[in-house]
Amino acid sequence: MSWRSVADLVGTDDGAQIAILGVPMEAGSVTPGRCDLAPGAIRKAMRRFSTYDVESRTALVLPVRDKGDLPVRGIMPAAGFETIRNAVEDCTDGHALTMVLGGNNALTRPAAHGLGLALDRVGLITLDAHFDLRETDQGLLNGNPIRALLEDGLPGRNICQVGLAPFANTAKMHGDALDAGIGIWTIADCRTRGIEPILQEALARIGHVETIMVDFDIDVIDRSQCPGAPGARPGGMPVDMFFRAARRLAAEPRVKLVDLTEFDPSLDQGDITALTAGRWVCEVLAGFQAART
């Protein structure tokens, strides 16, 4: 039988339950780079993964609608807000799950608004080494989408942040997160307790929300396993834990929107990060399919 890749699931079927949307935003990054190249690199990497999972003995079969890339390259986050929000809202209106391929982390704010709900009905889980609570007085950046969402009215009790790294944040950010009521789990918590119990706790913590967005900032992964993430550091999340998290969260019925951010292909080595991102797509599809079919 000929090889069937995950990329072969992707097409123009508007009736597909899952949509992919590229958001190649790179402007407004604290560390300038080429995250705008990531959506193309991820789509290319998807060709290298088969649809069959030997461990679960199941094949991915659900079609995926590719909505293309938004024209946000070179546009600052504030200027790109409406373009991203409107495109994500179109996707989430027509599909059960939307996968946003970033782009930098500034896209998370407009994407959350794209759920089309009042923010007090939205939950947000981040897998990220950083709080993303830089001040917004210097404008919207990839380092402050959580701060911006809090200022927009997303309640802190609706936010859970998983995988926070030592020596990657400030005491003020930590204090502000605690004061806002954000759920916090460090990378040490993940290693000690395991990712599955922590995700279960996080989902229970935001049990009151109607819909959940998950922000997968790829710099949560250990730098040795993710060279194409400028914010990744040694001691981060093992990549297999990242994959388990993707599959578990995609299986949660309230999760309607996920993003993958902060992948800079210009820094990648041997396609390690591109293949990690491609495998992330597989895991999200597998989690969604197992729970909903």
Mean pLDDT by 10 residues, the chain (293 residues): 89 95 97 96 98 97 98 97 98 98 98 98 98 96 97 98 98 98 98 98 98 98 97 97 98 98 98 98 98 87
Number of structural domains in the chain: 1
Residue 59 lies in a domain: yes
Residue 1 lies in a domain: no
Quote the pLDDT of residue 214: 99
Query: Cβ(264)–Cβ(38) under 8 Å?
Result: yes
Tell me the CATH number at 210.
Answer: 3.40.800.10
Residue 173 lies in a domain: yes
Residue 46 lies in a domain: yes
The whole-model pTM stands at 0.97
Quote the pLDDT of residue 293: 78
Please give the residue range of the domain that contains residue 186.
Answer: 6-292
Residue 48 lies in a domain: yes
